[in-house]
Amino acid sequence: MPKATQSGNFKPVKLPQPQTVVARCYSLIDIGTVPNIYNGVQNGVHRRIFLTWELPTLLGVFNEEKGKQPFVVSEEMTLSTNENSNLAKLIAQWRGKAFTAEERKSFDTNKMVGKTCLVQAVHKRKKKFEGQDIAEITNENTNLKMGGILARPNEMPIPEQVNPTFLWDWDIVEAEGFSQEEFDKIPNFLQEKIKGSEEYRRIVGNEAPAANVTEASAQGQVDQDPGPVTDEGW
């Protein structure tokens, strides 16, 4: 049996100390409607999204050819406007106000892309390294995670965006057509999850329409030309 080994191109990078720093959301990936599995048991389906923020003041060399690049943190959550959902809690903390009644009916998650904030960056030891003595905390043995999020004070500066904006939205894909080139920009582990979604099977695989999902499908209409992104008015 062939054995999987770590890529020879991987170079461990020392993680920054836990701290609160400015951040910018630059990527939102609509995973689609996938099985809701808890403790190995499926309980219906839910639509999921994957958000990524860059931390432009925390830099590391992950690729010698590219030089210093910002560390990033990511969160996956259900696309739901329920007041107890992780998305509702994140939005309330991020902008300092909860969903309005109208937003609970339909909230366009795409407006999060480009918005800035303060992120509490924390360490979370990878499972295979739990309980071990670690001489140096790197991205090989520890993940950099979001411990909290807050609104960024207007007077607090933030460097220009480094990573290109990326948006994968099944509503747009269905309207404009599937692009393999764009899909290939999605990390491999997310591609595999997306391929199991109802949207992928229906739009790319030309299968039956996806099941109706209440509450978790409150994304609303997509503005395909949102114009300049600011932190105002959301």
In a domain, 107, yes or no: yes
**Regions of the chain where pLDDT drops below 50:** 1-7, 207-228
Tell whether 123 is covered by a domain: yes
Residue 51 in domain: yes
Predicted local distance difference test score (pLDDT) of residue 7: 45
Q: Give the pLDDT confidence score for residue 212 in this predicted structure.
A: 33
Tokens of 21: 């720093």
Cα–Cα distance between 58 and 98 in angstroms, integer? 29
Q: What's the pLDDT at 222? A: 33
Residue 168: inside a domain: yes
2 in a structural domain: no
Q: What is the pLDDT of residue 37?
A: 79
**Is residue 142, in this structure, part of any structural domain at all?**
yes
| pLDDT for residue 43 | 81
pTM reported for the whole predicted model: 0.84
Q: Report the number of distinct structural domains present in the chain.
A: 1
Q: Note the pLDDT of residue 182.
A: 97
Give the separation between CA 177 and CA 174, rounded to whole angstroms: 6
In a domain, 8, yes or no: no
Residue 218 inside a domain? The answer is: no
Parent domain of 155: 22-204
pLDDT tens-digit profile of 177-196? 999 999 999 999 999 999 99
